[in-house]
Amino acid sequence: MKLSMTLNYSGDPRAAAEEAADLERAGIDVGWVAELYSFDAVSILGYLAAKTETMELGSAILPIYS
C-alpha cells in the first residue's frame, strides 16, 4: 500500500517543494498536483521532481488541451 497526498500547487513553487520534502521525510510515497486556471501543473511537477528524491509525482487533473 502507498500513501499519497495532494500537494499545494498555488503560490510559490518553493513552498510546494518544501511541503513535498517534508511529506517525503514523513513517509508519503506519492504527491499529486492538480492544474487550475493560471497554475501550470506540468511546470510545478518538473520543479518538484528536481527537489524530491523518492516521492512519485502525478497529475491529478490535466486539461485535454494542455
Provide the whole-model pTM. Answer: 0.82
pLDDT, residue 30, reads: 97
pLDDT, residue 11, reads: 80
Quote the cell numbers at residue 9.
500547487
Report how far apart, in Å, the C-alpha atoms of 64 and of each of 19, 26, 34, 61 are: 28, 33, 13, 9
Residue 64's Cβ-side half-sphere holds a number of Cα atoms within 13 Å equal to: 0
Residue pLDDT tens, the chain, 66 long: 999 999 887 888 899 999 999 999 999 999 999 887 777 888 899 999 999 999 999 998 777 775
Give the span between the Cα atoms of 66 and 51, in whole angstroms. Answer: 24
